[in-house]
Amino acid sequence: ELIEDWVHRGIGILLITSEMDELLTLSHRILVLYRGRLVEEFSRESASKDGILAAAMGYGARREAPGSVGDLEPFGPGSEAGA
């Protein structure tokens, strides 16, 4: 409730959480880091649990979306996309 009040007053908030429902409810923009690097940015409208989770696990979410998380290719050091 306090966070929602701050948002309505125009105060910027940096929310760090692993609670996906909280993240999707309170955020206007979601930035996902993997190994200290920004790997994905989502708007509230484009964010999904699967997309955020895939990016947080280091998968190449910026590439064409696969059918499921199991179809994703790794992103990061040593992978073709991270090279």
pLDDT in tens, 34-77: 888 889 999 989 999 999 999 988 886 454 444 444 555 555 55
Give yes or no for a contact between 52 and 46, defined as CB atoms under 8 angstroms apart: no
> Do the Cβ atoms of 71 and 54 come closer than 8 Å?
no
**Global confidence as pTM:** 0.63
Buried b (16+ CB within 10 A) or exposed e, 11-21: eeeeeeeeeee
Q: Is residue 11's pLDDT more than 80?
A: yes
CA distances to 2, 55, 80 from 5, rounded to whole Å, are 5, 29, 44
| Six-digit token string for 3 | 């966070």
